[in-house]
Amino acid sequence: MSTTSKLVLVTGATAGIGRMTAIHLAKQGHRVIATGRKPAELAKVKLEAAGLSLETVLLDVTSQASIAAAVAEVDRISKGRGLDVLVNNAGFGILGPTSEITDADMRRQYETNVFGLMNVTRAFLPKMRERRAGRIINVSSVGGRITLPYFGVYNSTKYAVESLSDALRYELRPFGIDVALIEPGVIRTNFEATAVSGLEQFASTPYALAMRKYENMSKTADRFASNPIVIARAIARAVNAGRPSARYVAPRSTNMIIWMSALLPTRMWDWMMRKVGFLTPKALDLSGSPVTHDRQPIDVSVVKRTSAEAHAPAN
């Protein structure tokens, strides 16, 4: 149970970490606004939180109209006071060889994870600034600190979230607004299923075989994944702290990989990442000889002639 009840809005609360967080915070006595883009899922969250102070509001973070409508709803709920805490959680990951991911998919990834997060933040910030109080909690990832093979595009969105959050933390502090980052490790949610759902589009790329091996390996990795309650608790710590930390890594064991990436020489780290991603000539089945573009012997007479012509006096 928290010391003070706060009005907290959670984006992407229809599944996984966001859903668990919304219910966990409501159980702690906070007044929660669980948001998402699927009305049927929001209704289930409301049912699960029966008896708790939890309301639901439709919010697609990629739509300005949807954001404006959600701000109006929050104004109504809070009687014009605005939010105490905004939890920017909505996000997803695209998995695939970085060079082969289409421009459209890359933009789609940034629209939600980066521009969506910033647009929602901009929309709820004015009331916090007016009151000189508030808190923004951004769900990043351990992938905002290290880059994994095939997660280059997703990881780059989380690196962006890390940098934007650092700058917001400096810039909003004078207004009494705190900014905290949550950096989850591997968590058992729909995230992995969404990430692997588009893998067939890489079947005709040079990475097809390695991607298949990686997909099989990622299925077995599920048993190392943590329950989303671990992240809900980390978010609750950031909500309830007098002054939140800049970063919450959860579960704690995830720190190990961050330290390793900082301590290992780059060549050793790269070798490990290539092993993880099956990025060896053998695993990629690069047994055929590479295409060579043999140099053609230079026709010296042409060069001589051209040079002589160039130096001939003009008529």
Ligand X SMILES: NC(=O)c1ccc[n+]([C@@H]2O[C@H](COP(=O)([O-])OP(=O)(O)OC[C@H]3O[C@@H](n4cnc5c(N)ncnc54)[C@H](OP(=O)(O)O)[C@@H]3O)[C@@H](O)[C@H]2O)c1
Q: Which residues are catalytic?
A: 154
CB 194, min distance to ligand X, A: 5
Give the torsion through C-alpha atoms of 226, 228, 229, 230, to 10 deg. Answer: 50
235 is a site residue for ligand X (CB under 6 A)? no
97 is a site residue for ligand X (CB under 6 A)? no
120 is a site residue for ligand X (CB under 6 A)? no
Helix (H, G, I), strand (E, B) or coil at 247: strand
Helix (H, G, I), strand (E, B) or coil at 10: strand
Q: Which one among 151, 191, 248, 278 touches ligand X, defined by CB under 6 A?
A: 191
Question: Taking a C-beta distance cutoff of 8 angstroms, is the pair 233, 250 a contact?
Answer: yes
Bridge partners (DSSP) listed for residue 55: 33
Kindly state the tokens that stand for 248.
Answer: 């919450």
152 is a site residue for ligand X (CB under 6 A)? no
Rounded Cα gap, residues 33 and 55, in angstroms: 5
Q: Which one among 27, 46, 92, 212 touches ligand X, defined by CB under 6 A?
A: 92
CB 19, min distance to ligand X, A: 7
114 is a site residue for ligand X (CB under 6 A)? no
Q: Which window, 84-92, 240-248, 256-264, 283-291, contacts ligand X (CB under 6 A)?
A: 84-92
Kindly state the tokens that stand for 197.
Answer: 């759902």
Name residues contacting ligand X, limited to 55-74 (CB under 6 A): 59-62
Name residues contacting ligand X, limited to 194-233 (CB under 6 A): 194
Alpha carbon distances (Å) from 217 to 170, 190, 196, 239: 41, 17, 12, 36
- Residues at the contact surface with ligand X, assessed by CB under 6 A: 11-12, 14-18, 36-38, 59-62, 89-93, 112, 116, 139, 141, 184, 186-187, 189-191, 194
